[in-house]
Amino acid sequence: MARTLIRASHIIACQDGGHRHLKDGVVVVEDDKILHVGRDFDGTVDQTIDAAGKVVTPGFINTHAHLSESPLDKSFVEDRGPRQFYLSGLFEFLSARDGAITEEARRACIAYSMPELLRTGTTTIMEIGRHGDVVAEHAARCGIRAYIGQGYRSGRWYTNNGRTVDYEWTEDDGVGAMDAAIDFIERVDGREGGRIKGFLTPMQIDTCSEALLRRSAEASKAMGVPLALHVSQSVPEFHEMTRRHGCTPIEWLQRIDFLSERCILGHCIIPGESSWANYQADDIGILADTGANVAHAVWVFARRGIAMESFARYQARGVNMTIATDTCPQSMIEAMRWTSVVSKIVDRRTQVATAADVFNAATLNGARALGRDDLGRIAPGAKADLLIWGGESLFMTPLRDPIRNIVFSATAEDLETSIIDGRVVMQDQVVPGYDPVELGRAVQKGAEAMWAGMKSRDWAGRDIEQLSPSSFPAFKG
């Protein structure tokens, strides 16, 4: 087994269960694991990486993503959110978008997403979609650690008037799609030396029956795989679930024995006690008491004026808060930054949702949600998933506290190297085999086809300029 020694000016090492700032130290990698962390190393090594003036951190665990569509959110969903649906874009914009995306465009988005994720700090991704084989193919190709879930549901939401949300249910209650998702896990789980794994993901709480969710929870436990679900992500969803069951979505999940430490719930942003719902509940307490994890993707909501109330509040109650991107940009740097800043604004307090808090959420908390004590940390025995940051760039100097600099100031250009399972998968912002220009052109082509197809998918027959008017009118002449 080859040994690599990384000598760095700053290392965020794990000690006594938490991150510690080690100055002028070394990390020794043997094969796919970390062998040693400390001031120095007396043993023999095969190669040395000189990271003088640089920062070494654990890689980020991104707990909620939709790789086959998120790049296509650009230039479309921003600045839009119908008041009829409490600013949520789920029931009009995403319905029109999803129906118009071609298979070619989805494949282009998955390929495009790989370097985007690696260049912005993700080393472990949880992908929710229906193109798992394509994701697995690219994960094997680029070296990212991937948990892949094939989504399934009992029905779908839609609107045919722009005023109300309706539901259309499948005859088999989604059982066939769930069986296919289980077959997918059994087929891919453990590939690439364990770097590719599967999980179960019924899609949204309001599109899944009680029977389907109970079956999912039982299968998750029996198979020993994570269980993901979109829940409390919009006010219309909250109202629909209280209408059906006379309780909050999270209360109902507790009632049907769905919640556990295996659950990774996106997004839990509209609990009963929030001002958006005003339902006098203790949903946050239920999450904490059941051990359920939250995948918080701040930007998908903040861009429409919706904020979790608040990240710090969930954290203080004991909920295991993790960080995710969900939409574009698929940047964990931006996700940590906006999580911190938005929570401070909502709470009107500076010393909450600190850089340390969101960095923990992106590393140690994500690992805990996956049941992995070998991820999200730089410690002997942990997987060698590492990031090397430039410490002398325009945005990283002056450097005293690396974590504050990364969370509040760094850009993607400051992340120089990504290592996963001891293998360099990105160096000098280059992901081998992925040409950003070529990938961008393929996504552009897919986006143009999607924009052209929206009119036939929208309930009112609106074209892209009616659904999402451009920021400025076209130049005449």
Per-residue pLDDT of the chain (477 residues; tens, 9 = 90+): 799 999 999 999 999 999 999 999 999 999 999 999 999 999 999 999 999 999 999 999 999 999 999 999 999 889 988 999 989 988 888 888 888 999 999 999 999 999 999 999 999 999 999 999 999 999 999 999 999 999 999 999 999 999 999 999 999 999 999 999 999 999 999 999 999 999 999 999 999 999 999 999 999 999 999 999 999 999 999 999 999 999 999 999 999 999 999 999 999 999 999 999 999 999 999 999 999 999 999 999 999 999 999 999 999 999 999 999 999 999 999 999 999 999 999 999 999 999 999 999 999 999 999 999 999 999 999 999 999 999 999 999 999 999 999 999 999 999 999 999 999 999 999 999 999 999 999 999 999 999 999 999 999 999 999 999 999 999 998
The number of CA neighbours under 13 Å toward the Cβ of 60 is 29
* Cα–Cα distance for residue pair 165/158, rounded to 1 Å: 6
| Four-point Cα dihedral 377, 378, 380, 383, nearest 10 | 70
Residues of the chain with CATH 2.30.40.10: 3-58+378-421
Phi, psi angle pair for 35, to nearest 5°: -90, -40
**Which residue bears the tokens 């209408």?**
243
pLDDT score, position 477:
87
Residue pair 276/306 in contact by the 8 Å Cβ criterion: yes
CATH number of 60-353: 3.20.20.140
CATH number of 3-58+378-421: 2.30.40.10
Sequence-distant (6+) residues with CB within 8 A of 161 are 459
CA angle 306, 312, 314 (to 5 degrees): 85
Query: Over the Cα atoms of the chain, what is R_g?
Result: 22
| Three-state secondary structure of 224-262 | CCCEEEEECCCHHHHHHHHHHHCCCHHHHHHHCCCCCCC
DSSP-derived secondary structure letter, 83:
G
Residues of the chain with CATH 3.20.20.140: 60-353
pLDDT score, position 23:
98
Give the pair of three-digit tokens for residue 411.
């850009």
